[in-house]
Amino acid sequence: MCNCGKLSACGYGDCKDVSSNPQERNLGLAALTEALTFTKSRFDLVCRCKTKVYADNLPTTSVVIVFHNEAWSTLLRTVHSVINRSPRHMLEEIVLVDDASERDFLKRPLESYVKKLKVPVHVIRMEQRSGLIRARLKGAAASKGQVITFLDAHCECTVGWLEPLLARIKADRRTVVCPIIDVISDDTFEYMAGSDMTYGGFNWKLNFRWYPVPQREMDRRKGDRTLPVRTPTMAGGLFSIDRDYFQEIGTYDAGMDIWGGENLEISFRIWQCGGTLEIVTCSHVGHVFRKATPYTFPGGTGQIINKNNRRLAEVWMDEFKNFFYIISPGVTKVDYGDISSRLGLRRKLQCKPFSWYLENVYPDSQIPRHYFSLGEIRNVETNQCLDNMARKENEKVGIFNCHGMGGNQVFSYTANKEIRTDDLCLDVSKLNGPVTMLKCHHLKGNQLWEYDPVKLTLLHVNSNQCLDKATEEDSQVPSIRDCTGSRSQQWLLRNVTLPEIF
Per residue in 142-189, pLDDT tens?
999 999 999 999 999 999 999 999 999 999 999 999 999 999 988 888
* Res 2: pLDDT: 38
Q: If you average pLDDT over residues 225-234, what whole number do you get?
A: 96
For the cut 50, the answer to whether the pLDDT of residue 198 exceeds it is yes
For the cut 90, the answer to whether the pLDDT of residue 302 exceeds it is no
Decide: 275 and 169 in contact? Cβ < 8 Å.
Answer: no
Decide: 442 and 484 in contact? Cβ < 8 Å.
Answer: no
Model confidence at 44, pLDDT cuts 50, 70, 90, reads: confident
Decide: 96 and 151 in contact? Cβ < 8 Å.
Answer: no
CA quadruple 337, 293, 269, 496: dihedral sign: negative
Q: If you average pLDDT over residues 472-479, what whole number do you get?
A: 90
Nearest to 43 by CA among 88, 85, 1, 6: 6
Query: What CATH superfamily classification does 43-288 receive?
Result: Spore Coat Polysaccharide Biosynthesis Protein SpsA; Chain A (3.90.550.10)
- 499 against 9, higher pLDDT: 499
| % pLDDT > 70, the chain | 88
* Res 27: pLDDT: 41
Per residue in 424-436, pLDDT tens?
999 999 999 899 9
For the cut 70, the answer to whether the pLDDT of residue 4 exceeds it is no
Would you kindly state where each structural domain of the chain is located, as residue ranges? 43-288, 301-361, 371-495
Q: How far apart are CA 378 and CA 135, in angstroms?
A: 48
Before 294, cis peptide (omega within 30)? no
Model confidence at 328, pLDDT cuts 50, 70, 90, reads: confident
Decide: 439 and 424 in contact? Cβ < 8 Å.
Answer: yes
Domain 371-495: assigned CATH number: 2.80.10.50
H-assigned helices in 98-214: 108-114, 131-142, 162-171
Decide: 238 and 152 in contact? Cβ < 8 Å.
Answer: yes
* Res 38: pLDDT: 47
Per residue in 413-456, pLDDT tens?
999 999 999 889 999 999 998 999 999 988 899 999 999 999 99
Model confidence at 259, pLDDT cuts 50, 70, 90, reads: confident
* Res 468: pLDDT: 96
CATH architecture of 301-361: Orthogonal Bundle (1.10)
For all residues of the chain together, what is the average pLDDT?
A: 88
User: End-to-end CA distance of the chain, in Å?
Assistant: 60
Decide: 132 and 99 in contact? Cβ < 8 Å.
Answer: yes
Q: How far apart are CA 180 and CA 198, in angstroms?
A: 9
* Res 78: pLDDT: 97
Per residue in 83-133, pLDDT tens?
999 999 999 999 999 999 999 999 999 999 999 999 999 999 999 988 889
> Coil, strand, or helix at residue 487?
helix
Which long-range contacts link 100-104 to residues 24+ away (Cβ below 8 Å)?
100/68, 100/125, 100/126, 100/127, 100/128, 100/129, 100/130, 101/67, 101/68, 101/69, 101/70, 102/69, 103/69
* Res 292: pLDDT: 61
For the cut 70, the answer to whether the pLDDT of residue 375 exceeds it is yes
* Res 386: pLDDT: 97
* Res 456: pLDDT: 95
For the cut 60, the answer to whether the pLDDT of residue 62 exceeds it is yes
Q: How far apart are CA 232 and CA 250, in angstroms?
A: 19
Q: How far apart are CA 427 and CA 439, in angstroms?
A: 9
